[in-house]
Copies of this chain bind each other. A is one copy, B any other.
Amino acid sequence: MKSITINLPQSEMPRQWYNLGSELSMQPPVDAAGKPIGPEALAKIFPMNLIEQEMCTDPWTDIPEPILDILSRWRPAPLRRAVFLEEYLKTPARIYYKDESVSPAGSHKPNSAVAQAWYNKQFGIENIVTETGAGQWGAALSFACSLIGLKCKVYMVRISYDQKPFRKVMMNLWGGECVASPSTETEVGRSILAKYPDTPGSLGIAIGEAIEAAVSDETGKTRYSLGSVLNHVMLHQSVIGLEAKKQLALAGEKLPDVIIGCAGGGSNFAGLAFPFTLDKMHGAEIDIIPVEPEACPTITRGPFAYDYGDVGCQTPLIPMHTLGHDFIPRPIHAGGLRYHGMAPLVSQAIVEGLFAPRALKQMECYEAAMLWANTEGPVCAPETSHAIAAVIQEAIKAREEQREKVIIFSYSGHGLLDLAGYEKFMAGDLTDYALSEEDLQASLQPISNYPKP
Task: Tell me the A residues contacting B by CB distance below 8 Å.
Answer: 1-5, 7, 10-11, 13, 68-70, 72-74, 80, 84, 102, 104-106, 143, 146-147, 166, 169-170, 172-175, 370, 373-379, 414, 416-417, 419-420, 422-423, 426
Contact = CB atoms under 8 A, between A and B. Distances in A.
Given A147-B377, A379-B173, A426-B173, A11 B1 contact: yes
Contacts of A417: 416, 419
21 contacts: A1-B72, A3-B69, A4-B10, A5-B10, A73-B80, A73-B84, A73-B377, A104-B376, A143-B377, A146-B373, A147-B375, A166-B420, A169-B419, A169-B423, A169-B426, A170-B379, A172-B423, A173-B373, A173-B379, A174-B373, A416-B417
Contacts of A102: 102
A1 B422 contact: no
A10 to B, nearest CB: 5
Contacts of A105: 377
A63 to B, nearest CB: 11
Nearest to A417: B416
Contacts of A420: 166, 169
A63 B322 CA distance: 55
3 A-B pairs with least C-beta separation: A104-B377, A3-B72, A2-B69
Contacts of A73: 3, 5, 80, 84, 376-377
B1 A68 contact: yes
Contacts of A416: 106, 166, 170, 414, 416-417
Given A1-B13, A169-B422, A419-B169, A174 B69 contact: no
A2 B72 CA distance: 7
A374 B100 CA distance: 20
A374 B174 contact: yes
Given A2-B69, A5-B72, A173-B422, 13 more contacts: A1-B10, A1-B69, A5-B10, A84-B147, A104-B377, A105-B377, A106-B416, A146-B373, A147-B374, A172-B423, A173-B370, A173-B426, A174-B373
A422 B173 CA distance: 7
Contacts of A422: 169, 172-173
Contacts of A106: 416
A85 to B, nearest CB: 11
Contact of A379 (B68, B84, B104, B374): B104
A242 to B, nearest CB: 16
A239 B166 CA distance: 33
